[in-house]
Amino acid sequence: MSKLAIIAADAVEVSPLVRGWKPSQTIAQRHNVKIFENGNAVVGLAGMGPIPARIAADTIYKHCSGDVSAFFSVGFAGALSPKLQVGDLVEPKKIICAADETVIINSTGQGTLISAGAVAGIDSKAMMARQFGGDAVDMEAYSVADVARIYGVQFRAVKVISDEVDFPMPPMGRFIDDLGRFHKTSFAIYAALRPWIWADVSRLARNSSKATQALCERLQQEIEIFAGKNEVAPAHATEVSR
């Protein structure tokens, strides 16, 4: 039975979706890849950032013995456009790797997603908006799209806005290790000692909860469509350029 491979960074993004699914895990290139399966849908999590995303996608493809009809890169994204609000869903046509400006273009979707190597704050969002004219920024979609391209598998990115363009993002990046793991306890201690960021941290938690709900509702719909038709709308990564 052909599979829909859904790649996220962290369990918080998809926890309502995978509740009750069959869990397992494996180690790939030092990364702990968490796997959740339900029928012909498989979710893979290996951490935040481009390298964990690439490892997760490749691991899930091999876990499914290559019987994957489509890859979805899903999860949180930051808004680069003031028109996007928390909970809005973004399905881009163009995905740009910020590191080298390589582009992957899908046959469907709308707008541009920038895949960066770090959590984007206000200043870096403004810089990427000027440089690329993008709508939103994440850390993983380009890597998953590239794996899909290598294996000749359909690809879509379904991202949800978790922080708006002017959100004062706390320094989350310093709590992400080289394996893409976010150290929540260390961040909680950091935040507890800095009462001036409490309001922003609380707002970020509310935003994340709202974003997760919107994303998982959409993914459940996509899984039901896939299960009914055993296919998704064609969205091949059809072009790679600089």
Could you read off the pLDDT tens digit of each residue along the chain, which spans 242 residues? 799 999 999 999 999 999 999 999 999 999 999 999 999 999 999 999 999 999 999 999 999 999 999 999 999 999 999 999 999 999 999 999 999 999 999 878 999 999 999 999 999 999 999 999 899 999 999 999 999 999 999 999 999 999 999 999 999 999 999 999 999 999 999 999 999 999 999 999 999 999 999 999 999 999 999 988 764 444 444 444 44
Tell me the chain's radius of gyration from C-alpha atoms. Answer: 17
Query: What is the predicted pLDDT for the residue at 233?
Result: 41
Count other Cβ atoms within 10 Å, centred on residue 239. Answer: 12
Which DSSP string do the residues of 149-194 spell out, in sequence order? HHHT-EEEEEEEEEE-TT-----GGGGB-TTS-B-HHHHHHHHHT-
Beta-strand relationship, 89-90 and 68-79: unpaired
Count other Cβ atoms within 10 Å, centred on residue 176. Answer: 20
Q: Domain count of the chain? A: 1
Handedness of CA 158, 159, 160, 164 (dihedral sign): negative
CB 55 within 8 A of CB 44: no
b/e burial code for range 181-197 (CB count within 10 A of at least 16 → b): bbeeeebeebbeeeeeb
Query: What is the predicted pLDDT for the residue at 78?
Result: 97
Alpha-carbon gap, residue 49 to 31, rounded angstroms: 12
Q: What pTM, to 2 d.p., does this model score? A: 0.92
- Token digits of residue 14: 């998809």
In the chain the first and final C-alpha atoms are separated, in Å, by 36
What's at 90, amino acid-wise?
Answer: V
For residue 65, the enclosing domain spans 3-241
Query: What is the predicted pLDDT for the residue at 32?
Result: 94
Alpha-carbon gap, residue 142 to 156, rounded angstroms: 10
Helices (H), the chain: 11-18, 50-63, 122-132, 141-151, 184-192, 198-229
3 state SS of 119? coil
3 state SS of 83? coil
CATH code, 24: 3.40.50.1580
